[in-house]
Amino acid sequence: AFITVKELSEKMKINPSDIIKKLISKGIMVTINQQIDYENASQIAEEYGFLLEKKEENEDNLEIMDKEDDEKDLLPRPPVITVMGHVDHGKTSLLDAIRKTNVTQREAGGITQHIGASVVEINGKKVVFLDTPGHEAFTAMRARGASVTDIAVLVVAADDGVMPQTIEAINHAKAANVPIIVAINKIDKPNANPDRVKQELVEYGLVPEDWGGNTICVNVSAQKNLGLDDLLEMILLEAEMLELKANPNRPARGTIIEAQLDKNRGPVATVLVQKGTLKTGDVIIAGTAYGKVRAMFDDKGRKVKKASPSIPVEVLGLSDVPKAGDILVVLDDEKKARSIAEKRKEKFREEEMMQKQKISLDELFNQIKEGNVKELNIILKADVQGSVEALKSSIEQLSNDDVRLRVIHGAVGAITETDVMFASASNAIIIGFNVRPDSKAKSLAEKEKVDIRLYRIIYDAIDDLKAAMKGMLEPEY
Ligand code: GDP
Show the 3-state SS of 314-345: EEEEECCCCCCCCEEEEECCHHHHHHHHHHHH
**Does the annotation place 82 within a ligand binding site?**
no
Between CA 170 and CA 161 the distance in angstroms is 14
- Which amino acid is residue 132, in one-letter code? T
**Residue 39 confidence (pLDDT):** 82
Q: Are 172 and 148 in contact (CB under 8 A)?
A: no
**Residue 373 confidence (pLDDT):** 73
Radius of gyration of the chain (CA): 25
**Does the annotation place 172 within a ligand binding site?**
no
**Residue 74 confidence (pLDDT):** 95
**Does the annotation place 132 within a ligand binding site?**
yes
**Does the annotation place 116 within a ligand binding site?**
no
Between CA 141 and CA 178 the distance in angstroms is 14
Distance 157 CA to ligand 1 centre (A): 8
Q: Which 3 state secondary structure label does DSSP give 429?
A: strand
Between CA 292 and CA 334 the distance in angstroms is 8
| Ligand 1 atom showing the smallest separation from residue 220 Cα | 23
Between CA 403 and CA 442 the distance in angstroms is 27
Q: What is the ipTM of this complex?
A: 0.99
**Does the annotation place 185 within a ligand binding site?**
yes
Residue ranges of the chain with pLDDT lower than 70?
1-2, 53-65, 102-113, 351-358, 372, 474-477
Cβ neighbour number for residue 111 with a 10 Å cutoff: 15
Pocket-testing residue among 88, 166, 218, ligand 1, by greatest number of atoms within 8 A of Cβ: 88
Query: Between the CA of residue 366 and those of 402, 403, 466, what are the distances in Å?
Result: 12, 12, 14
For 297, the enclosing helix (H) or strand (E) is strand 289-297
Nearest partner of 380 among 454, 442, 440, judged by Cα? 454
Identify the bridge partners of residue 42 per DSSP, sorted by sequence position: none
Between CA 469 and CA 454 the distance in angstroms is 18
Pairing of strands 117-122, 217-219: unpaired
Residues framing ligand 1 (Cβ under 6 A): 85, 87-93, 133, 185-186, 188-189, 221-223
Q: Are 265 and 316 in contact (CB under 8 A)?
A: yes
**Residue 8 confidence (pLDDT):** 86
| Ligand 1 atom showing the smallest separation from residue 87 Cα | 2
- Conformation bin of residue 102: beta by default, left when phi > 0, alpha when psi is -120 to 50: alpha
**Residue 102 confidence (pLDDT):** 67
Distance 88 CA to ligand 1 centre (A): 6
**Residue 34 confidence (pLDDT):** 80
Between CA 246 and CA 254 the distance in angstroms is 12
Q: Are 296 and 305 in contact (CB under 8 A)?
A: yes
| Residue 248: half-sphere exposure toward Cβ, Cα within 13 Å | 13
Distance 212 CA to ligand 1 centre (A): 30
Pairing of strands 75-76, 245-246: antiparallel
**Residue 368 confidence (pLDDT):** 76
Between CA 189 and CA 325 the distance in angstroms is 38
For 439, the enclosing helix (H) or strand (E) is helix 439-448
DSSP state of 8: H
Q: What is the full DSSP assignment across 364-428? A: HHHHHHTTS-SEEEEEEEESSHHHHHHHHHHHHHT--SS-EEEEEEEEES-B-HHHHHHHHHHTE
Cβ neighbour number for residue 294 with a 10 Å cutoff: 13
Q: Is the dihedral of CA 385, 390, 395, 397 positive or negative?
A: positive
| Ligand 1 atom showing the smallest separation from residue 95 Cα | 7
- Which amino acid is residue 27, in one-letter code? G
Between CA 89 and CA 91 the distance in angstroms is 6
**Residue 151 confidence (pLDDT):** 97
